[in-house]
Amino acid sequence: MPLRLRGGGGSKRGMPAAPTVTPKAVIHQKYGAKACYSVEEVREAVDGGCPGLALPQQTRSVYRCSLDLPGLTVVTPGTFVRKKDAEQAAAQIALDKLGIQPTANAPSTPEEAWDELIARISGFFADENFPSSSHPLIGHMCVTFRRTGDRFGMIPMSAIAACDVKVIGLCKLIDPKAEFDPLLVLSLIYNAAKKSPGVSVSDSNFWIRSQKPYSPEAVDLALQHWSGITNPIEVDGIFVPCVMEDEPKTIRLTLSHNEHYMGDIVSKLSASDSSHAVVSRTVGKASSEIRLYFSAPNVQFVSEISNNVVSSLGDGYMESLINKRASFISGQTIYGDAILANVGYTRRDSELHTEDVTLSNYYRILLGKSPDGNYKISRDSILVAELPSVYSRSSWKGLSPRDLLCSFCRLHRLAEPYFVVNRCASGGKNDKENPDMFKCDVKIYSKKQELLLEYSTADTWSKESDAIHNSSLKVLIWFCSYFKQPNKHVLKLSHSKSTDGFTICPDNFLHEFAMFLSIYGNTGGDDSSTCSTVGSLSMDTSKQKLENNAVLAHVDGPDSGVFPSHGSLTCISYTASLVVKDKTNRYMLESNNEFEFEIGTGAVKNQIESCVSQLSVNQSACFIAELPPRDLILAAANEFSHDLSKISRDNCFLEFSVKVLQVTEPLEDRMEKALFNPPLSKQRVEFAVRYINELHATTLVDFGCGSGSLLDSLLEHPTTLEEVVGVDISRKGLTRAAKSLHQKLSKKSLMQTSVPTAVLYDGSITDFDSRLYRFDIGTCLEVIEHVEEDQASLFGNVVLSSFCPTVLIVSTPNYEYNPILQRSAMPNKEEEPEENAGPCKFRNHDHKFEWTRSQFQHWATGLAEKHNYSVEFSGVGGSGDEPGFASQIAVFRRMASGQDEVCQEGELHQPYELLWEWPNASLPSH
């Protein structure tokens, strides 16, 4: 039974009003985030106060706006009462200067567009235009001239949609829904073609041709462009079944030389008529001709300007025909089975261009739709790269967060993201030391300019682009977590205001992501099952678990002693191979000779990072990893994707082989080394040694010992120490520490010198462990800034009230010293003052805070008073004059008193896990 497409019948009601485009919108379209508005508040005297009275003069705020575009800056000459108006005025001035005007004779109403569409279709078949070698339809027409009989000169209407973007533009003006609906486009072309003078269309199918016979000269001319090859072309496409249970598969298409390719393609879809081909927009790269083809459902187009698709069987019927995967991929409504193929004519060429579309291509297109997919693709690393959790200008690789967010929005058919950058005065005492800061809010709109999501932040950055990238990354990460667990978020969406700076408009949001939800949002509401079906779109949720499971099969090469530490830029080479157990086949899925990433930012799969952290430069290792989701494997598989799609997962495992090529130390360390001699870390050690000697200390615990640099150096100094202990929560750090202490102590014991006891514990310094009660010295160097402020206070309380060391030395960066560090870290860049700003506002991405001298002193004196300690302030790095030391230090001393009952010695409270111990030590395995 035919379905009916019932439309507005040309009535003016129900038509969307022609959009009025504001100057800002035009600027935004052209420049996006490169357009930078800054609004300045001006106080203006208000007239009409009370003359004669000695009151302060009344003023009000008015606004002036300047607009920065690449190569042009304009400022409004006057002021405006509303910020908005100031911005629009600035945008208008810029448009005038640039000579941009809304094109005078372009159609702007649906009616005008309709007339234009009719004229344009006519034009394609007009004698004077056809056929010439520059005709957009030349290739499509040429093939039909090779036919004999009835179909001579007839092309399927979708050819017009495929070859002429202007037609699509007009269709969208007539009905904005055309953007999302290829069937509506076909209906509009069909109805317009019926009205087009000189054009003939049939009533029962979708062929279109010139009313008049083509002149023999024209036909000859067209055929001259054809090389005369008559063998059919074979090309692979991907069959995307409508039924979700069936997986997409490779399909071989045979395109003959005297049939239109669209007919050949839809014949594989059991189409009743080869003119019924419907074609989506291009998918994937904009320049490609990859499109989805499907066969028009048996419909009748009845209106002149159709708005609605109403089936006589009810809406539900058309809906049941929707191919969800194909629709999700293209962002358009696709009905029935579909074929993804790369076939088409380039303009002015009558030879058909074809390229195979592999399963790998299909899954890469799918991957590109996930918020982190384009990052992986841009890094050419699908199996290893992950979207990092922090942005840093110096270490970011691949597409920038802003570009990623823009392409994400584009791929999901949303409006370009809207960045609202605010300049805020830093409020510092010294304007030169503290230039203006920037913060950036982000708004995500639908194509219809409905707000979906708003992110606002208080974070400020010294460079505008840093503000934009950081906020873009936050939004991408939000989308990642939404894509991972859509159901959970759907529930949360209903409470539209959330606390993390995100405000979601649930209705608009869910409307735009409806297709995603219908595929990946399992209605059962069970998140875990959703994840497993999401495939590549789900990110790895079981990271924590995997970290410890990664077992290094074997490590090659001697330990060079240069190892990747937190924050260092590490360059590796790797290969990832899929191994089929019984057949012992290996497929190399991915390899990279030079892959650079920053440790600790989440930029790689967790197992890779934990492997790399156990190696030093020039060492390599292999390990077996958990099998990634099927979609991801096939996306990575390239030429093997077809073969691998048939292999059972149970039979395979993934093997990585990784080599560390180079390590660049974190910026903080580089700065500390470049600027200070001896390096700051050594100065901290020497500082501690002074107190050890002064106290004749025999016991020392290093809270947050990391890879053991302090303990290690202490062994090189002659001291009174008999027992040294390190505590840390990082296994990686502790393993390093164990290795180097072990090496050092083994050598020492050979030399028969007195060797102290050394112990390493895995534990959190905010937990008390009675084995470390009342040590002579506690050190906590450059640790507190790595935990949240409340945890830093908790540590302070626990250590002074429970551990009760005689002396506690705490060091942390002095925030006020940063400008000096940053300036000297990037010297000789005077000509690009912008680049002088630091890559992040703190010295290290992992820092949760950095305190000024007064903040640190406030923290420390509070603690000291509370727990009956005295405290003195000192530091290392610099002279200590304004603005203080580079690294500020507080030295707490327990005051003799009867307060000892506060500490509970006797109780056995041992939450720390013993990791390594000297003597009696065995080196921990990885």
Rank residues 510 and 810 by Cβ distance to ligand SAH and give the closer one.
Answer: 810
CA dihedral 119, 122, 127, 133 (to 10 degrees): 90
* Nearest distance in Å: CB 673, ligand SAH: 13
Rank residues 728 and 782 by Cβ distance to Mg ion and give the closer one.
Answer: 782
d(CA 342, CA 120): 26
* Nearest distance in Å: CB 764, ligand SAH: 4
210 binds ligand SAH (CB under 6 A): no
d(CA 540, CA 550): 15
733 binds ligand SAH (CB under 6 A): yes
Q: Which residue minimizes CB distance to ligand SAH?
A: 706
DSSP 171: H
* Nearest distance in Å: CB 319, ligand SAH: 53
Q: Which residue minimizes CB distance to Mg ion?
A: 782
With beta carbons less than 8 A apart as the criterion, state whether 519 and 325 touch: yes
Rank residues 607 and 764 by Cβ distance to ligand SAH and give the closer one.
Answer: 764
Amino acid at 606: N
Compute how many residues bind Mg ion; rule: CB under 5 A.
1
Rank residues 260 and 684 by Cβ distance to ligand SAH and give the closer one.
Answer: 684
Rank residues 564 and 706 by Cβ distance to ligand SAH and give the closer one.
Answer: 706
**At 656, phi and psi to the nearest 5?**
-105, 140
d(CA 417, CA 408): 9
d(CA 420, CA 493): 23
Q: Which stretch binds ligand SAH (CB under 6 A): 68-76, 413-421, 454-462, 729-737?
A: 729-737
Rank residues 439 and 847 by Cβ distance to Mg ion and give the closer one.
Answer: 847
* Nearest distance in Å: CB 700, ligand SAH: 13
Question: Per-residue contact track with ligand SAH, 748 to 787, x per CB under 6 A?
Answer: ----------------xxx--------------xxx--xx
Report DSSP letters for 796-820, one per residue: HHHIIIII--SEEEEEEEBGGGHHH
d(CA 341, CA 268): 12
* Nearest distance in Å: CB 819, Mg ion: 18
Rank residues 259 and 782 by Cβ distance to Mg ion and give the closer one.
Answer: 782
Q: Which pair of structure tokens corresponds to residue 705?
A: 């010992």
> Which residue, chain included where needed, has tokens 């279109």?
208
Which alpha helices (H) appear in 353-428, and where do they start and end?
Answer: 359-368, 373-378, 401-411
Q: Which stretch binds ligand SAH (CB under 6 A): 232-240, 371-379, 478-486, 698-706?
A: 698-706
Q: Identify the residue among 210, 485, 709, 822 touching ligand SAH (CB under 6 A).
A: 709
With beta carbons less than 8 A apart as the criterion, state whether 254 and 264 touch: yes
What residue 404 binds from ligand SAH, Mg ion, none (CB within 5 to 8 A, per partner kind)?
A: none
Rank residues 116 and 782 by Cβ distance to ligand SAH and give the closer one.
Answer: 782
Q: Which stretch binds ligand SAH (CB under 6 A): 5-13, 48-56, 705-713, 893-901?
A: 705-713
* Nearest distance in Å: CB 873, Mg ion: 18
Q: Which stretch binds ligand SAH (CB under 6 A): 324-332, 416-424, 575-583, 701-709?
A: 701-709
Amino acid at 814: N
Rank residues 65 and 886 by Cβ distance to Mg ion and give the closer one.
Answer: 886
728 binds ligand SAH (CB under 6 A): yes
Q: Is the dihedral of CA 783, 787, 788, 792 positive or negative?
A: negative
- 3-class DSSP string for 615-674: CCCCCEEEEEECCCCHHHHHHHCHHHHHHHCCCCHHHEEEEEEEEEEEEECCHHHHHHHH
* Nearest distance in Å: CB 741, ligand SAH: 14
* Nearest distance in Å: CB 739, ligand SAH: 15
Rank residues 487 and 613 by Cβ distance to ligand SAH and give the closer one.
Answer: 613
782 binds Mg ion (CB under 5 A): yes
For residue 760, how far is the Cα from the chain centroid? Answer: 38
Rank residues 671 and 765 by Cβ distance to ligand SAH and give the closer one.
Answer: 765
With beta carbons less than 8 A apart as the criterion, state whether 453 and 443 touch: yes
* Nearest distance in Å: CB 810, ligand SAH: 11
For residue 559, how far is the Cα from the chain centroid? Answer: 35
* Nearest distance in Å: CB 368, Mg ion: 37
289 binds ligand SAH (CB under 6 A): no
671 binds ligand SAH (CB under 6 A): no
With beta carbons less than 8 A apart as the criterion, state whether 591 and 532 touch: no
Q: Which residues contact 827 (CB under 8 A, 6 or more apart)?
A: none
Which alpha helices (H) appear in 259-314, and where do they start and end?
Answer: 261-267
Q: Which residues contact 211 (CB under 8 A, 6 or more apart)?
A: 125, 198, 199, 200
HSE-CB for 783 with a 13 A CA cutoff: 28
326 binds ligand SAH (CB under 6 A): no
705 binds ligand SAH (CB under 6 A): yes
- Site residues for ligand SAH, 613-632, by CB under 6 A, read none
Rank residues 297 and 763 by Cβ distance to ligand SAH and give the closer one.
Answer: 763
What residue 704 binds from Mg ion, ligand SAH, none (CB within 5 to 8 A, per partner kind)?
A: ligand SAH
219 binds ligand SAH (CB under 6 A): no
d(CA 177, CA 181): 6
With CA atoms as reference, report the closest residue to 333 among 192, 187, 489: 187
Rank residues 421 and 825 by Cβ distance to Mg ion and give the closer one.
Answer: 825
776 binds Mg ion (CB under 5 A): no
* Nearest distance in Å: CB 703, Mg ion: 13
* Nearest distance in Å: CB 795, ligand SAH: 7
* Nearest distance in Å: CB 567, Mg ion: 9
Rank residues 604 and 734 by Cβ distance to ligand SAH and give the closer one.
Answer: 734
CA distance to 242, 275, 515, 711, per residue, from 297 (Å): 13, 12, 20, 75
d(CA 829, CA 225): 57
d(CA 640, CA 653): 16
Pairing verdict, β 807-813 and 652-664: unpaired
Amino acid at 651: N
Rank residues 709 and 802 by Cβ distance to ligand SAH and give the closer one.
Answer: 709
DSSP 788: -
156 binds ligand SAH (CB under 6 A): no
667 binds ligand SAH (CB under 6 A): no
* Nearest distance in Å: CB 492, ligand SAH: 29
d(CA 879, CA 856): 18
* Nearest distance in Å: CB 854, ligand SAH: 23
Amino acid at 602: G
Contact residues for ligand SAH, defined by CB under 6 A: 704-706, 709, 727-730, 733, 764-766, 781-783, 786-787
Contact residues for Mg ion, defined by CB under 5 A: 782
